[in-house]
Amino acid sequence: MKSMVILISGRGSNMQALLEAGLPVAAVISNNPDAAGLTFAQARGIPTHTINHRAFPDRNTFDSALANIIDSYQPHLIALAGFMRILSEAFVKRYHGKLINIHPSLLPAFPGLNTHVQALQEGVKIHGCTVHFVTPQLDYGPIIIQAAVPVLANDTTTTLAARVLAQEHRIYPQAVSWFLQGKLTLIENRVVIETACDDQKVLYSPEITL
Ligand code: GRF
C-alpha cells in the first residue's frame, strides 16, 4: 500500500480535501503549532506532528529535522498543502520526484504570495491553480494538472480566492491519485500521464457564456 505525508502551516482545507478523497495519508506535519488543519487531522485519527521552525537556528537544521520525521513514515509521496516555508535545495533534491505542491495561480504566472492580488492587478481574464512537482526554484517545476477559472468584473480577492480554492480541492486529490497509481512520469520538465485519455483531465475550465 502506497502512502503519503502532508505538510501544512494553516487552515488545511487542501489537506482536508485529500483526506476526504480517501487517500492513504500516513501523517500530517505542521511547522505551525496553531495550524487549524491539525485539529481536523487528529479528529480523523491521522498521526500529526508539530515542528516549529522558530526553535531551529537555521533553515538547514529545520529541514533535516523535518526530513527525519518524514522518513520515519517512509512515504511514497510528500504533498505540500499550504506549507509556508521555503525548503532548502538539499531538502528538495532529497525528495526529487516525490515532492509536490499546490499553488493558487496558473504557473508560471504569479509565483510567490498574494497571487489573487497579482491577478486582479494584472487584469488577467483567466486565473486558477496548479499542482506541480517541487524543484529548488520557488513555485516552479513540472506541472501535473491545472484548473482555470474566469476573473469576473466585480471580483475581489476574496471572491476570486474562493473560486480558485474550490478548484484546488478538485485537482489536488486527482494529482495525488495519479501519482500513487504510478501514472505520472517525469520527462525533463514535463509530466506525462499514463493513459492518453487522461490528457483531457489535466485542465478544468468552466464554460464561458456570453
Ligand atoms: C492554498 O491556496 C494553496 O494553494 C496555497 O496555500 C493555500 C493553503 O490553503 N499553497 P489551505 O491551508 O489548504 O486551506
pLDDT digits (tens, 9 = 90+) for 58-84: 999 999 999 999 999 999 999 999 999
**% of residues, the chain, pLDDT over 90:** 90
| Catalytic residue chosen out of the listed positions 76, 96, 103, 116 | 103
**pLDDT band at 210; cut points 50, 70, 90:** low
Please tell me if the CB atom of residue 82 comes closer than 6 angstroms to any atom of ligand 1: yes
* Distance in angstroms (rounded) separating the CA atoms of residues 51 and 57: 13
pLDDT score of 164: 96
Any atom of ligand 1 within 6 Å of the Cβ of 11: yes
Alpha helices in the chain (DSSP H): 13-20, 36-43, 59-72, 89-94, 115-122, 157-180
pTM: 0.94
CA of 138 to the centre of ligand 1 (A): 15
Q: Mutual orientation of helices 157-180 and 115-122 as an angle, nearest 10°?
A: 120
Whole-angstrom Cα distance, residue 166 to residue 153? 19
Q: What is the pLDDT of residue 206?
A: 60
3-state DSSP assignment of residue 167: helix
For ligand 1, say whether the CB of 141 is within 6 Å of any of its atoms: no
16-19: long-range contacts, CB 8 A cutoff, minimum separation 24: 16/40, 17/168, 17/169, 17/170, 17/172, 17/173, 18/79, 18/81, 18/172, 18/173, 18/176, 19/44, 19/46
Q: Which of 8, 13, 83 to mutate to test the pocket of ligand 1 (most atoms within 8 A of CB)?
A: 13
**Is the predicted pLDDT of residue 198 greater than 80, yes or no?**
no
**Dihedral sign for Cα atoms in the order 11, 14, 19, 24:** negative
Give residue 179's pLDDT band: very low, low, confident or very high (50, 70, 90): very high
* 136-178 pLDDT tens trace: 999 999 999 999 999 999 999 999 999 999 999 999 999 999 9
What average pLDDT does this structure show over 177-188?
94
Respond yes or no: is residue 103 known to be catalytic. yes
Q: Interior CA angle at 15 toward 12 and 17, to 5°?
A: 115
**CB of 81 shorter than 6 A to ligand 1:** yes
CA of 210 to the centre of ligand 1 (A): 31
User: How confident is the model at residue 188, as a pLDDT?
Assistant: 86
Is the previous residue joined to 47 through a cis bond, with omega within 30 degrees of 0? no
